[in-house]
Structure 1
Amino acid sequence: MKVLLVVNPSASSVTARTRIVIQKALSADHRLEVAATSRRGHATRLAQSAANDGIDVVVVLGGDGTLNEAANGLAGSETALAAVPGGSTNVFARTLGLPDDPVEATGALLDAIEAGSLRRVGLGCANDRYFLFHAGVGFDAAVVEQVERKGGLLKRFAGHPLFVAAAVDTWARHYDRSSPAFRVSSRSVHEAPGDDGDDLGEAAEVEGLMAVVLNTDPYTYLGTRGLSLAPATRLDTPLSVVTLRSLAPQRLLPVLAAAAGLGRRLADDPNVDIRDDVAEARLVANRPVPWQVDGDHLGDAEELHFRHVPDALDLVVPLGSPAFS
């Protein structure tokens, strides 16, 4: 089998020793090529070239952002994607059930490849950008923006405490919480598209300050605990859209507790609008709002269109993965 290993040498958990061990493991039974990313968007171009050259599997050693870029390069092709955790949070790799240690994860992937454990999975798409696990708009993306501004060595070594500090700082100083930032409408897979391309069915619009469109769950991890916003969402289901109406402390803290599995169910919280089985959604901003996909900040937008793209990507799935319903 022809395998390309794409390495992000700047990712938080990538070391020279780890890279060498993984290269030796992958090359033992497969024809291996190795490429290192050097700039934003590089993984997308490397993955596109791999698909065009008939590579069977692209293995990504990096964080969620590098994985997202590779997925965008492979979507619609017959080349499979495999994730090796190399970032600070590694949401997608952990969602698949891979070990946190990149060398152990490589072993699990080699077992999966030998067993032929590949699945064709759906992706989310925000405008023209695919995402593996979620896209975030508003407060969520503003936090990601602050993390990227303070990133570099601090992100490499501070990890989750940096995200928590950035969230508090963003809430206090870097995001307008005074009025709704946008409104969201959606159409479920059980509703037929309207004759008008802008008609997303009967679901009423909801206003909010933060929205997350999920292709799988959990939303993210805090330490070892997953924060779950849409428990029914898996890689073999349509999207879910979760909107927070208010970020006031007395309304936000119960949401965080419910997402962590503490307190009442998130679906019972009046501050949260949850829509499952979503085929497409449209977000119209009252003012330019930040947005991100898979933890990669993409700037500000005034309108975003989300859609579920079934059977978009071949994925190497570890044996016994919990990412499917």
Structure 2
Amino acid sequence: MSGSVASSPSLPVEGLPTTERRRLQVIVNPNATTTNPRLRALVVHALDHRYEVQVTDTEAPGHATELARQAVHEGVDAVVSLGGDGTVNEIANGLAGSDVALLPLPGGATNVYHRLIGMPPDLIDATEHALTLADRWVPRPVDLGRIGERWFTFAAGVGLDADVVRRVDARPALKARLGPWFFASVAVGVFLRRYTVNPPQLQLELPDGQRLDGVTLVLQNAREFTYFSRSPVRLIQDVTLESGRVSGAVLRHTRPTVMPGVMLRALVPSLEVSAGRAIDAARDLERATLRTRDGRPLPFQVDGDYAGDLVEAEIAVGHDALRVIA
């Protein structure tokens, strides 16, 4: 393995084979669901056959963002994420606006973003695919959504789903062992305890001045919000990674009578949650403002990871803010 820079590199024509060894910074989340030291070593050894590779493990939340920014400063060709969607999100926040590409390898439980951009779902298969990319290096520009100061790659949520994510993230062993079934059980408990009586209130103000009041907001930068096992969960279906917009859906209330219909629409691909009778859709947004209506801080999540609480935040989109190689 080496982190050295080849002397006097020549620039290859994009998409054509090249013998130039590109520089990769591999950022590993050692706590990711399906990542272990043996797989880490196999992946790094394989990549080292075609690339100049440096490897760093993350040590705390937010560390991957710092490492990605450092990699941009050092002028690497790409940052490889070895972890789940949370690791991808942190790295994307460090790469946003730069020319350094993201090459994600699946090491988490769900790996939504990897599926969205066409990476094989198996880590070994994805690594073999990454080796072939050395001969056809064509980074693809994609959008990022933003809530407050935090970028998201495919989805964000405020309210109920963020509360669920916060509680799931606090039990990583059960999250890894039970996967979506643990999410589902936690969601039922959070809904009954916090969202049937006096839930936190939010408001989304649109650019035309319209205000949508509710208890939960979901935002999407791509069609899939998440996956339940192998089944895609599609809440809003009119947005893509290249559309230059984000779309949102505000759940007006969480009465028990409406929740079965919301969940059915989430799990049936041909239906759309934002068409439900308790949902207000906010489509094709370039900008909007989110705020609390009752003074209570609102939990929010980005790409399936709890990100904190907020009382007001700007919603925006960064068109072509990230480059991916897949």
Q: 1:214 aligns with which of 217, 220, 224?
A: 220
Counterparts of 1:129 and 1:306, CA distance in 2: 10
The 3-state SS of whatever aligns with 2:311 is strand
Which runs of structure 1 show a deviation greater than 6 angstroms over 4 or more consecutive aligned residues?
A: none
Matched, 1:41 2:62: yes
Q: Name the counterpart of 2:316.
A: 307
Counterparts of 1:124 and 1:263, CA distance in 2: 25
Q: In the alignment, residue 92 of structure 1 is paired with which amino acid?
A: Y
Matched, 1:248 2:269: no
Larger Rg: 2
Closer/same/farther in 2, CA of residues 175 and 145 from structure 1, 3 Å limit:
farther
The 3-state SS of whatever aligns with 2:146 is strand
Q: Could you list the runs of 5+ residues in structure 1 that have no partner in the other structure? A: 187-199, 318-325
The 3-state SS of whatever aligns with 1:249 is coil
Q: 2:150 aligns with which of 121, 124, 129?
A: 129
Counterparts of 1:19 and 1:112, CA distance in 2: 19
Contact 2:202 2:213 in 1 (8 A): yes
Q: Name the counterpart of 1:266.
A: 273
Q: 2:184 aligns with which of 146, 164, 177?
A: 164
Q: Could you list the runs of 5+ residues in structure 2 that have no partner in the other structure? A: 1-21
Once the two structures are TM-superposed, the CA of residue 262 in structure 1 deviates from its matched residue by: 6.1
Matched, 1:295 2:301: no
Residue correspondences, number: 302
Question: Pairwise CA RMSD of aligned residues?
Answer: 1.7
Contact 1:142 1:175 in 2 (8 A): no
Matched, 1:282 2:289: yes
Contact 1:13 1:86 in 2 (8 A): yes
Q: Deviations over 1:116-159 (max 9, x none)?
A: 231111111111111111111000110011112222x2222222
Counterparts of 1:4 and 1:167, CA distance in 2: 37
Question: % of aligned pairs identical?
Answer: 35
Q: Deviations over 1:171-197 (max 9, x none)?
A: 1224465356111122xxxxxxxxxxx
Bigger relative CO (Cα 8 Å, ≥ 6 apart): 1
Closer/same/farther in 2, CA of residues 254 and 176 from structure 1, 3 Å limit:
closer
Contact 2:146 2:317 in 1 (8 A): yes
Contact 1:123 1:312 in 2 (8 A): yes
Q: Name the counterpart of 2:198.
A: 178
TM-score scaled by length of structure 1? 0.88
Counterparts of 2:69 and 2:55, CA distance in 1: 15
Counterparts of 1:215 and 1:262, CA distance in 2: 17
Q: 1:55 aligns with which of 69, 76, 80?
A: 76
Counterparts of 2:166 and 2:78, CA distance in 1: 31
TM-score scaled by length of structure 2? 0.88
